[in-house]
Chain A
Amino acid sequence: MRLSDTFHSMRSTHDDWNEILTNPSYFSKNHRISWYGREEKHRSPVLVRRSYVADQIKKCQYTLKILNDDSIIQIYYEYERDDSTLIFAKLSYFNSGIADISELEESIDLSETSASVVELLPKFIENITSDVDDPLVPWIRIDYDPKASTSPLHHACHMHIGLFQHARIPLSRVPTPRQFIEFIITLCYPEDYRMKRLDSDGKPLDIKKICSFNDDTFEKIENVLYDIIPHFHIPTKK
């Protein structure tokens, strides 16, 4: 999948989900798809706390934000100079840890009369005095780095899930921006997915459209490991 196709996937997904995806910051330049102001050497911690996500938001370290709860998505792809060979990718989702606005409202100063997550989260973070006030939050990250592939424990393309410190779940191929974002929405925002993609019986409204998201994908990663260990299947056009 060429860089331009991947970027098209990024744009069309944002377009499709623009009722909940906000503050876009993506660009395609110098053989990369990244976000403006990306901190190159930054590594996210294993234990991600709410304050970390708030800090990432403050520094605009994201590709898109989720309107519902201020969670963030980071999307980064790096290509060879020919713009057709993918050499590195990092796709992340960090949940803000805010499930219920009233939780924040209770703990925030009276002066914060306009109750919305974006209003209250930074204030909440200001008031953190210990880890007890700063809960761990869910996160997911997919890494693709064929050079760093070492063993069944460290597959070229794998997924980390928050709190499972050494867990790397192999993926059969690198997801496109469309596949990653659709996956995050089904997983973390099922109600939004249901309203957009499913009918009242929970069946796809437009199965053809959903299938078409897998028309253009990255190549399957050829590796004998797929025959010996369980892994995540990333769909492609049949």
Chain B
Amino acid sequence: MIDFIITVSEYERDEPTKVVWTWINEKFPDTEGICFYKHPNLTAPPGIRPELTIITKNFQPIVLLCPPPMTLEDITSICDEEWIVEGNPRDSPFKQAEDFAVALNYKFEKDRTLRDLVKKGQYTPVYAVAFPFISKIDFIHKFPNVVTDQIVIWADEDISHLVRPLSSPLSENEWNHILSITQGISPLTNGSGVIPKETPTLGEAIRYLDRYIALLDKQQEKAALQIAPGPQRIRGLAGTGKTVILAMKAAFIHHRYPDKKILFTFNTQSLYNQIHKLITLFYKANSESDPDWNFLHVRHAWGGQNKAGVYFDTCSQLGIEPFRLPTAKFLNKNDPFRACCQHVLNANLTNPILPQYDYILMDEAQDFPAEFYRVLYLLSEEPHQIYWAYDDLQSLFAVEVPTPEELFGKDELGKPLVTLDGEPYGGSIEKDIILYRSYRCPHEVLMLAHALGLGLYADRCVQMLTNKGSWEALGYIVEEGELEKGNKIVIRRPEEYSPNPITSLYKGKQDVIQVEIFDDHESELNWIAESIYFDINTENVLPEHIIVICLDAVKMRRYLLPLQKKLMDFEILSSIPGVTDSSSAFGEPGRVTLSTVFRAKGNESYVVYIFSFEMVYDYVEALQNRNRAFTAISRSKAWVRISGVGPGMKKAKEEIEKIRYDKPRFKFIFPDPETIRNLSAETDVRRREYKKVRDSFKKIFESVKNVEIIDALRDKDPELIKQMERLISEANKREVK
């Protein structure tokens, strides 16, 4: 079957192409392939694109030009290079089709794997022009002297000349290269791509994984290549490729519409260089020059006096002085950026913000307050082509995705400014695209992250997705049970939604998930240091491919610095981003990264150690720590090593074993949503309780100036002392268990 990707909604009005595509769809032999309407980066001077570009597994590629609807009467004369149509000169469509074919051929020839095929003429684009409203006989009658050996699709619906079988079928590797090139994702493939091999060492498996041929899946293809004529949301978990897709989209839009103003905005400072690099990479794959950064703005959402950013730029446009961080923090301690956005929205009431951009792309949209969406709406020209990439499950505490109506707000009449309801845009371009496949984590690792994070196998769930749609958006299928309190539920994650191939590449002894329990943290840190030494020296893993995450945010400093010392004893260098190094110091060459969960967000690595994992059973912070466990585990592109101490870790290990036993399914009893809702309040109660007891203990120690006073107390109120001793003894017993 040939998939049809319509990149722009003009297709709805493009009658000749619609007619021709119907014929191809009905008459082309059955084969796997893709047909692009107005391929995003296949262009030839003077910037016109072929209407249809078709690549298939068994036939030569096709470039088909379908000029605007014209009847024979519209064409006045034809010279070799120039046609006169409705009194106006235009470039010869035959020559244009040939230009496109040459351009496509060049793309294939540049690829090492395909070069031989192209050179031997075994893979050469067929190019053609379609006049579906003109008959061949009439044309020859009117222009008897126009002789062309090119293929033309006439009104007789004969497409047989387009069908040219390959002399020998393409190998899987060759086909993947062709796909990667036509999708425009090939710049991301390291080296020439490799045919996967099995290996017994981690380091080699990582190198294979790193050099896999970059390909887009169907949903990614739509998200990256289609240019929606209005707002569009792209949803996906971490590791679904949102940033790459948005960067591709920005590069393609800029390539197609070089004089349109585009804004790419985001939240994490350290992403700036990555986004810049990606856009340049995708743009330069189809152009000799760099992107014109005067038209394509890559802007952090905030900015500053010396660095452009959406908030600072908007303040500048409005002629108001931007807040500095202390002011913004004073106005809104928890979300200073919200105060900034409110600042410009207030100013907008008297001095309207003027639209600045034709296209706006927003990455990490889940991190922004609704006020920022409103600012972007005001900054965008009609029809508000704002594309925002949203991670549904960045935080397990925010499983309900806010609607566009809530984010963008309403007009004076109460009508939502943006809605994703209703029919798709013209050409079936969707308003809301879900990226089901998560590429970062291996299948089992991602399932472990979800199950632990939600507490599906814990004594009680800490969070729950309450409808099938939410589970599906995460790439799960509800197989059994209605999602109602007390029901037995079976949910499956299909393997194809987590296509990370590490388990098929690595055939050594190490399990993709390893869990260890220790008596104390000293032994735990020793094991981590020794294990990392083994990874580097025996398994040939590069230090920059290892990250160690401490789940205990409070004691992080107490553990990470000694761990750094223990690694140094093995002559292994390390960085602690945000503590001893800049927060962007992740994966520094030659250094292992030691991190807190907070700092690790947005980063990934092949080997991930998570320690102090007993904290998922912490009395006070269990809820938050489950969320941290989810974030920490989902950083892994391959192996996860989990460790902890004491009874909490014992329970955690049992829980992990249960989760792994049921893979690829989750089996659990659907919890009472009311209990889950109460958890947050319960945590607050526990925090207060903890603080009260701690303060009371402190007071005792402060007031006991010498131990004789305890003797006096024992003498006068022996029961009180006994109670205290019993309490301590019970606590100690729990610790020993």
A contact residues vs B (CB 8 Å cutoff): 11, 14-15, 18-19, 21-27, 36, 65, 67, 105-106, 108-116, 118-119, 122, 126-127
Return B299 CB to nearest CB of chain A, in Å.
10
Which of A105, A111, A116, A122 counts the most chain B CB atoms within 10 A? A111
Q: Indicate if the CB atoms of A110 and B302 lie closer than 8 Å.
A: yes
A14: chain B residues within 8 A (beta carbon): 565, 568
B573: chain A residues within 8 A (beta carbon): 24-25, 36
User: Could you mark each residue 559-598 of chain B with 1 if its beta carbon is under 8 Å from any beta carbon of chain A, else 0?
Assistant: 0011011001101011110111111000000100000000
Q: Indicate if the CB atoms of B580 and A118 lie closer than 8 Å.
A: yes
Name the one of B302, B336, B578 contacting A116, with C-beta atoms under 8 angstroms.
Answer: B578
The answer to whether residues A111 and B309 also contact, given A18-B562, A19-B557, A27-B571 and a CB cut-off of 8 A, is yes
Q: CA A211 – CA B574 in complex, angstroms?
A: 32
Q: Indicate if the CB atoms of B269 and A110 lie closer than 8 Å.
A: no
Q: CA A36 – CA B582 in complex, angstroms?
A: 19
How many residue pairs at the A-B interface have CB separations less than 8 Å? 96
A111: chain B residues within 8 A (beta carbon): 269, 300-304, 307, 309
Return A113 CB to nearest CB of chain B, in Å.
7
Q: Indicate if the CB atoms of A18 and B322 lie closer than 8 Å.
A: no
Q: Which residue in chain A gives the minimum CB-CB distance to B324?
A: A110
B305 at the interface (CB under 8 A from A): yes
A65: chain B residues within 8 A (beta carbon): 580
Q: CA A119 – CA B269 in complex, angstroms?
A: 11
B302: chain A residues within 8 A (beta carbon): 109-111
B562: chain A residues within 8 A (beta carbon): 18
The answer to whether residues A108 and B304 also contact, given A113-B336, A118-B578 and a CB cut-off of 8 A, is yes
B337: chain A residues within 8 A (beta carbon): 113
Q: CA A138 – CA B581 in complex, angstroms?
A: 21
Q: Binding site of B, secondary structure by majority: helix, strand, loop or mixed? A: mixed
A127: chain B residues within 8 A (beta carbon): 306
Return A161 CB to nearest CB of chain B, in Å.
26
Q: Indicate if the CB atoms of B580 and A110 lie closer than 8 Å.
A: no
Q: CA A15 – CA B312 in complex, angstroms?
A: 46
Q: Which residue in chain A gives the minimum CB-CB distance to B322?
A: A110
Q: CA A113 – CA B578 in complex, angstroms?
A: 12
* 9 pairs from A and B in contact (CB 8 Å cutoff): A19-B557, A23-B564, A23-B581, A25-B573, A108-B325, A113-B337, A118-B582, A118-B583, A119-B583
Q: CA A112 – CA B270 in complex, angstroms?
A: 11
Q: Which residue in chain B gives the minimum CB-CB distance to A120?
A: B582
Q: Which residue in chain A gives the minimum CB-CB distance to B563?
A: A18
Q: Closest 10 CB pairs between A and B?
A: A109-B304, A111-B302, A22-B580, A24-B568, A110-B302, A18-B561, A18-B565, A23-B580, A110-B325, A111-B300
Q: CA A114 – CA B302 in complex, angstroms?
A: 13
B336: chain A residues within 8 A (beta carbon): 110, 113
B581: chain A residues within 8 A (beta carbon): 23, 118
Q: Indicate if the CB atoms of B564 and A11 lie closer than 8 Å.
A: no
Q: CA A224 – CA B319 in complex, angstroms?
A: 73
Q: CA A73 – CA B590 in complex, angstroms?
A: 21
Which of B557, B578, B582 counts the most chain A CB atoms within 10 A? B582
B323 at the interface (CB under 8 A from A): yes
Q: CA A126 – CA B269 in complex, angstroms?
A: 15
User: Could you mark each residue 419-443 of chain B with 1 if its beta carbon is under 8 Å from any beta carbon of chain A, else 0?
Assistant: 0000000000000000000000000
The answer to whether residues A67 and B580 also contact, given A109-B302, A109-B305, A110-B303 and a CB cut-off of 8 A, is yes
Return B99 CB to nearest CB of chain A, in Å.
45
Return B285 CB to nearest CB of chain A, in Å.
30
Return A176 CB to nearest CB of chain B, in Å.
18
B561: chain A residues within 8 A (beta carbon): 18-19, 21-22, 67
Q: CA A127 – CA B574 in complex, angstroms?
A: 28
Q: Indicate if the CB atoms of B571 and A119 lie closer than 8 Å.
A: no
Q: CA A106 – CA B304 in complex, angstroms?
A: 12
Q: Which residue in chain B gives the minimum CB-CB distance to A28?
A: B571
B569: chain A residues within 8 A (beta carbon): 11
User: Could you mark each residue 322-358 of chain B with 1 if its beta carbon is under 8 Å from any beta carbon of chain A, else 0?
Assistant: 1111101000000011001000000000000000000
B670 at the interface (CB under 8 A from A): no
Q: Indicate if the CB atoms of A22 and B311 lie closer than 8 Å.
A: no
Return A54 CB to nearest CB of chain B, in Å.
11
Q: Indicate if the CB atoms of B307 and A109 lie closer than 8 Å.
A: yes
Return A70 CB to nearest CB of chain B, in Å.
8
Return A160 CB to nearest CB of chain B, in Å.
27
Q: Indicate if the CB atoms of B325 and A112 lie closer than 8 Å.
A: yes
Q: CA A40 – CA B567 in complex, angstroms?
A: 25
Q: Indicate if the CB atoms of A24 and B565 lie closer than 8 Å.
A: yes
Q: Indicate if the CB atoms of B568 and A116 lie closer than 8 Å.
A: no
Q: CA A19 – CA B306 in complex, angstroms?
A: 35
Q: Indicate if the CB atoms of A23 and B269 lie closer than 8 Å.
A: no
Q: CA A110 – CA B322 in complex, angstroms?
A: 9
The answer to whether residues A24 and B324 also contact, given A109-B303, A114-B578, A119-B583 and a CB cut-off of 8 A, is no
B326: chain A residues within 8 A (beta carbon): 105-106
Q: CA A119 – CA B582 in complex, angstroms?
A: 5
The answer to whether residues A110 and B575 also contact, given A22-B561, A24-B568 and a CB cut-off of 8 A, is no
Return B303 CB to nearest CB of chain A, in Å.
6
Which of B300, B309, B561 counts the most chain A CB atoms within 10 A? B561
Q: Indicate if the CB atoms of B311 and A110 lie closer than 8 Å.
A: yes
Q: CA A42 – CA B153 in complex, angstroms?
A: 73
B309: chain A residues within 8 A (beta carbon): 109-111
> Which B residues between 285 and 307 are near A, CB-CB below 8 angstroms?
300-307
Q: CA A108 – CA B306 in complex, angstroms?
A: 9
The answer to whether residues A118 and B579 also contact, given A14-B565, A110-B304 and a CB cut-off of 8 A, is yes
A114: chain B residues within 8 A (beta carbon): 578, 583
Q: Indicate if the CB atoms of A23 and B575 lie closer than 8 Å.
A: yes
Q: CA A115 – CA B575 in complex, angstroms?
A: 18
Q: CA A15 – CA B582 in complex, angstroms?
A: 23
Return B731 CB to nearest CB of chain A, in Å.
27
A11: chain B residues within 8 A (beta carbon): 568-569
Return A107 CB to nearest CB of chain B, in Å.
9
The answer to whether residues A22 and B325 also contact, given A110-B304, A111-B304 and a CB cut-off of 8 A, is no
The answer to whether residues A22 and B269 also contact, given A109-B303, A110-B304, A111-B309 and a CB cut-off of 8 A, is no
The answer to whether residues A110 and B579 also contact, given A14-B568, A19-B557 and a CB cut-off of 8 A, is no
Return B243 CB to nearest CB of chain A, in Å.
18
Other A-B pairs beyond A67-B580, A113-B336, A127-B306, 6, CB < 8 Å: A14-B568, A26-B568, A110-B303, A110-B312, A110-B340, A112-B269
Q: Indicate if the CB atoms of A24 and B564 lie closer than 8 Å.
A: yes
A108: chain B residues within 8 A (beta carbon): 304, 325
Q: Which residue in chain A gives the minimum CB-CB distance to B560?
A: A22
B340: chain A residues within 8 A (beta carbon): 110
Q: CA A119 – CA B304 in complex, angstroms?
A: 15
Return A69 CB to nearest CB of chain B, in Å.
11
Q: CA A22 – CA B328 in complex, angstroms?
A: 32
Q: CA A88 – CA B311 in complex, angstroms?
A: 55
B580: chain A residues within 8 A (beta carbon): 22-23, 65, 67, 118
Name the one of A22, A105, A113, A115 contacting B564, with C-beta atoms under 8 angstroms.
Answer: A22
Q: CA A27 – CA B188 in complex, angstroms?
A: 37
Q: Which residue in chain A gives the minimum CB-CB distance to B302?
A: A111
Return A42 CB to nearest CB of chain B, in Å.
20
Q: CA A111 – CA B575 in complex, angstroms?
A: 23
Q: Indicate if the CB atoms of A110 and B306 lie closer than 8 Å.
A: no
Which of B300, B328, B568, B573 counts the most chain A CB atoms within 10 A? B568
B269: chain A residues within 8 A (beta carbon): 111-112
Return A81 CB to nearest CB of chain B, in Å.
22
B323: chain A residues within 8 A (beta carbon): 110
Return B386 CB to nearest CB of chain A, in Å.
21
Return B468 CB to nearest CB of chain A, in Å.
37
Q: Which residue in chain B gives the minimum CB-CB distance to A116?
A: B578
B322: chain A residues within 8 A (beta carbon): 110
B565: chain A residues within 8 A (beta carbon): 14-15, 18, 24
